[in-house]
Amino acid sequence: MNFEFSEEQHLLRDQARALLAEFCPTDTVRAVLDSDNEWDQSLWERVADMGWTATVIPEAYGGLGLSHYELAILAEEMGRSVAPLPFSSSVYLASEAILAFGSEGQKSEWLPKLASGECVGTVAMWERPGALALEQLATRRLGDTVSGVKSPVPDAGVADVVVVLAHSDAGLEACLVPMDQAGVQQQCVMTLDGSRGHSTLTLDNAQAEVLGHNTIEPSAWERLIDGAAVMFAWEQLGVAESALTQARDYALQRFAFGRAIGSYQAIKHKLAAMYVKNTLARSNAYYGVWALAENSADLPLAAATARVAGIQAAAFAAEENIQTHGGMGFTWEFDCHFYYRRAKLLSLVIGSEAVWQDRLVSGLTHQPTVAM
C-alpha cells in the first residue's frame, strides 16, 4: 500500500506554500477584489517562472511532463491562498482541452505558450442558467467562424485564447478562438468572487479552428471535465483548510464570558465537523488524483466523489468560519469572505453539487451520464 505522495512531491508542496505565503498573502487577494483588476499579473509571472503552468504539459510541447500528482499539490495551494489567478482556466481546462483534442499543429502552436505562461487560456462552456446540456448548445460553428454568446466565461478578460464549446452540423466541437480579433467582443461581468475575472463573450463570426479538425464525443468532453473536477477538488480542499485554520485561530484568540470561544462545545463541535469534512474531502481527493494519474477506469466515480466532497467541505468550512467570527466575519475588513466567495465560485464552475451527486450515483450504477 502506497497511498501517499512521494518525498519530492511533498517538497514541491512546501515550496509552493512558501512561495504563495510570501507573494500571495491575503492582501494580494484583497487588492484584486478592491480594484477593477481581474488578476495579479506579477504573481502570474512568478508562478509561470516556477513552471507551475507547465506542470502536466509534455516536454515535447515545452512543458515539464510531470504528473497530475504534482498538479494536485499546486491546486491545493492555489485554493489555500485563494490566489487571484486564471490557473484553473488556463491549466486544468484550456491546456488539457488542447492536449486532449488538438491537432499536432494546434498543440505545437499553443501549448508552449500556455506552458510558459506567456499566454492565458480559458474554456467557454456556459450559455444560460441551468445545468449545461452538451446537446443543446446554441453556439454554432460554420466554416472557419463561430457565433454565439457565452457567459460567464472565467478569466476571459486576461485570456489570449478561448476554447469555445459549440455545435456544427457535424456535432459537438471545441473551437480555438484567439481573443484578439474583431469577431470577439468581451464584456466584464460582476460575479460573487471579484478576485477572479469573468466575462460575457459575444462571438460574431469569430475566426475559429476546430480542435483536432473533428467533432468530439460528449463522453470525451466529460472525461476532460472529470480530470478538471479532480483538480478543482484539490483547490476546494485548500480553501476549506484555510477557512478551518482561520476559524481555529480566531476561536483560540477571541474571548467571550471570560474564556476563549474555542473552549465552548458549540464551537468545538462546529470546528470538529469542519475537520471531518476536510478529512473526507482530502482522502477522496487522493483517490481522485490516483484515478486520474493512473488513467483508471474508476475515474468518473472517483472524480465525482472528490468533487462532491470538495464542494461540501469548502462550502461548510467557509460558511461556518464566518459564523465562528460572529459580526467581524461579516465585515469587508476580515478575510473570511474571500473563502466564502471562492468556495461558492469553485462549486459552480464545472457543474454544481447536484449535478455531481447525480454523476456519482451514475458511476456507482455504471449508468451513462449526459448532463454536466
Partner 1 sequence: MDFNDTPAEARFREEAVTWLSHNVPTDDAFWALTPLEQAKLWQKRKYDDGWACLGWATEFGGRGASPIEEVIWRQEEARYELPTNFFLIGQGMIGPTLMAWATADDKARYLPPLASGEEVWCQLFSEPAGGSDLAALRTRAEPDGDDWIINGQKIWTSGAHYADYGVIVVRTDPTLPKHKGLSYFYIDMRAPGVEIKPIKQLTGDADFNEVYFTDVRVSDRQRLGEVGQGWQVALTTLMNERAAIGGGIGKMDVDLAIAIAQDVELDGQPAIDNAAVRTRIADWYVQEAGLKYTGYRSLTALSRGALPGPENSIGKLVGAPKMQAMASFLMDLLGASGAITDEALAVKAGIIQRAYMGAPGMRIAGGTDEIMANIIAERVLGLPQEPRLDKGIPFTDVPTG
Give, in degrees to the nearest 5, the angle at Cα 327 between 324 and 328.
80
Please say which residue, 145 or 245, places its beta carbon nearer to partner 1: 245
**Contact (Cβ atoms closer than 8 angstroms) between residue 92 and residue 224:** no
Only one residue has cell 467557454, namely: 124
- C-alpha to C-alpha distance for 92 and 125, rounded to whole angstroms: 14
> Out of 35, 279, 323, 331, which residue is the one contacting partner 1 (CB under 8 A)?
279
Which single residue is written with the C-alpha cell 459564523?
323
Three-state SS at 159: coil
Tell me: does residue 370 bind partner 1 (CB under 8 A).
no
> Does the footprint of partner 1 cover residue 266 (CB under 8 A)?
no
**Amino acid letter, residue 216:** I
**Taking each helix axis from N to C terminus, what angle separates 41-49 and 7-23, rounded to the nearest 10 degrees?**
160
The reply to whether 365 sits near partner 1 by the rule CB under 8 A is yes
Stretch that binds partner 1, among 104-112, 210-218, 303-311, 339-347 (CB under 8 A): 303-311
Among 192, 294, 326, 370, binds partner 1 (CB under 8 A): 294
Sole binder of partner 1 in the list 22, 265, 333, 368 (CB under 8 A): 265
Asked whether position 312 contacts partner 1 by CB under 8 A, the answer is yes
Q: Which residues contact 19 (CB under 8 A, 6 or more apart)?
A: 46, 47, 50
Q: Which three cell numbers stand for residue 83?
A: 490566489
* Residue 361 touching partner 1 (CB under 8 A): yes
Interface mask (CB under 8 A) for partner 1, residues 5-44, using x and -?
A: x---------------------------------------
CA dist 164 → 148, 192, 223 (Å):
10, 23, 17
> How far apart, in whole angstroms, are the C-alpha atoms of residue 98 and residue 110?
8
Position among 18, 138, 272, 328 found at the interface with partner 1 (CB under 8 A): 272
Angle between helices 265-293 and 68-80 (to 10 degrees): 150
Residue 234 binds to partner 1 (criterion: CB under 8 A)? no
Task: Indicate whether 315 belongs to the interface with partner 1 (CB under 8 A).
Answer: no
Interface of this chain with partner 1, residues 61 to 90, rule: CB under 8 A: 69
Name which position in 170, 189, 276, 328 contacts partner 1 (CB under 8 A): 276
* 283 is a contact residue toward partner 1 (CB under 8 A): yes
Exactly one of 127, 188, 223, 275 binds partner 1 (CB under 8 A); that residue is: 275
- CB of residue 177 to partner 1, shortest distance in Å: 35
Residue written as cell 468550512?
A: 317
> What does the radius of gyration of the chain's CA atoms come to, in whole angstroms?
20
User: Which CB atom, from 81 or from 305, has the smaller least distance to partner 1?
Assistant: 305
- Dihedrals phi, psi of 155, to nearest 5 degrees: 65, 15
Smallest gap from Cβ 67 to partner 1, in A, equals: 10
Instruction: Check binding of 271 to partner 1 (CB under 8 A).
Output: yes
Q: Which of 37, 116, 202, 357 binds partner 1 (CB under 8 A)?
A: 357
Q: Are 148 and 139 in contact (CB under 8 A)?
A: yes
Residue (of 277, 276, 298) closest to 287 by Cα position: 298
Residues that bind partner 1 (CB under 8 A): 1-5, 69, 244, 248, 251-252, 259-260, 262-265, 267-269, 271-273, 275-276, 279-284, 286-287, 289-290, 293-294, 304-305, 308-309, 312, 354, 356-358, 360-361, 364-365
